[in-house]
Amino acid sequence: DTEVTQTPKHLVMGMTNKKSLKCEQHMGHRAMYWYKQKAKKPPELMFVYSYEKLSINESVPSRFSPECPNSSLLNLHLHALQPEDSALYLCASSPVRGRLNTEAFFGQGTRLTVV
Amino acid sequence: GENVEQHPSTLSVQEGDSAVIKCTYSDSASNYFPWYKQELGKRPQLIIDIRSNVGEKKDQRIAVTLNKTAKHFSLHITETQPEDSAVYFCAASGANAGKSTFGDGTTLTVKP
């Protein structure tokens, strides 16, 4: 399995809702990422997990809460979002090779709309 | 932090022509430079990458060149085809493993 799978593909939520985005990979990658991508913009890094530990938080608001329950799964819990948080949320994974940076394998994304 | 500039923002070529996209980076510690292709409504996918100890890398119609001194790298696509139409992103990664900074993207249109 050489894919990163994200669910759901689309999500519409109200500003008072709580929802979660899920990401799964079975490539044995020990680095996993959440990116946010607005239309016609590059992916913007939010969080990095390395060996199931949070290693990078790009000053993301606390209404986004990541979780890495095991080496194959990555979740993003959403609470009290704002309409400007509407975007494509991409999960990615990479093999870890010491301190070397490696290619990211992206999921197909969750298209989130906050109403 | 790292800053990556990408040019041009849009590029239109005739089928069969070559396309060149250029990126510059600011952090001399950056050592890994991937290029991603994102078709409309799809995920970004790696098409080629290069590390700082290499000056050029080719994969069929695609090549990447890196000039460490000038801190720029370029994507070259030869014999372009309509299916090459997409947004292309360059990225640079450095000492902070796992953190990539992306360029703003180039929308390539290949006209049949």
Q: What is the pLDDT of residues A37-95, one digit of tens each?
A: 999 999 999 999 999 999 999 999 999 999 999 999 999 999 999 999 999 999 999 99
* B94 and A CB contact within 8 Å: yes
How many other C-beta atoms lie within 10 A of the C-beta of residue B112? 8
* B44 and A CB contact within 8 Å: yes
Q: What number is the average pLDDT over the span B47-72?
A: 95
Q: How many angstroms away from the CA of A65 is the closest CA of chain B?
A: 19
At CA A56, angle to CA A54 and CA A60, rounded to 5? 100
User: For residue A61, is the peptide bond before it cis, meaning its omega torsion is within 30 degrees of 0?
Assistant: no
Q: Lowest-confidence range among A27-41, A76-90, A96-110, B26-40?
A: A96-110
Nearest CA in chain A to B88: A42
**Is residue B69 pLDDT above 90, yes or no?**
yes
Question: Is there a contact between B98 and A109 if contact means CB atoms under 8 Å apart?
Answer: no
- Residues from chain A contacting residue B89 (CB–CB below 8 Å): 42-43
How many other C-beta atoms lie within 10 A of the C-beta of residue A28? 10
Nearest CA in chain B to A50: B98
What pLDDT was estimated at residue B97?
Answer: 65
What are residue A6's phi and psi, to 5 degrees? -120, 140
A106: exposed, middle or buried (Cβ count in 10 Å: 0-12, 13-18, 19+): buried
* B93 and A CB contact within 8 Å: yes
Q: Which of B34, B42, B98 sits opposite A31 (nearest CB)?
A: B98
Question: Is there a contact between B97 and A109 if contact means CB atoms under 8 Å apart?
Answer: no
Q: What number is the average pLDDT over the span B95-103?
A: 81
Q: Lowest-confidence range among A63-72, A90-99, B46-55, B95-104?
A: B95-104
**Is residue B95 pLDDT above 70, yes or no?**
no
Q: How far apart are CA A38 and CA A42, in angstroms?
A: 7
> Model confidence over A10-26: pLDDT tens digits?
999 999 999 999 999 99
Q: How far apart are CA A44 and CA B100, in angstroms?
A: 9
> Model confidence over B3-13: pLDDT tens digits?
999 999 999 99
Q: How far apart are CA A9 and CA B88, in angstroms?
A: 23
Q: For residue A101, what pLDDT band results from cuts at 50, 70 and 90?
A: confident
What pLDDT was estimated at residue A96?
Answer: 83
* B81 and A CB contact within 8 Å: no
Q: What number is the average pLDDT over the span B70-78?
A: 97
Closest CA relative to residue B97, chosen from A51, A4, A87: A51
Q: What number is the average pLDDT over the span B47-67?
A: 95
Beta bridge partners of A24: A5, A73
Q: Which of B44, B97, B103 sits opposite A101 (nearest CB)?
A: B97
What pLDDT was estimated at residue A93?
Answer: 95
Instruction: Give the number of beta-carbon pairs within 8 Å between A and B.
Output: 57
CA A34 to chain CA centroid, nearest Å: 3
- Residues from chain A contacting residue B103 (CB–CB below 8 Å): 42
What pLDDT was estimated at residue A5?
Answer: 97
**For chain B, percent of residues with pLDDT exceeding 70:** 97
What letter would DSSP give residue B26? Answer: S
What pLDDT was estimated at residue A100?
Answer: 74
- Residues from chain A contacting residue B95 (CB–CB below 8 Å): 99
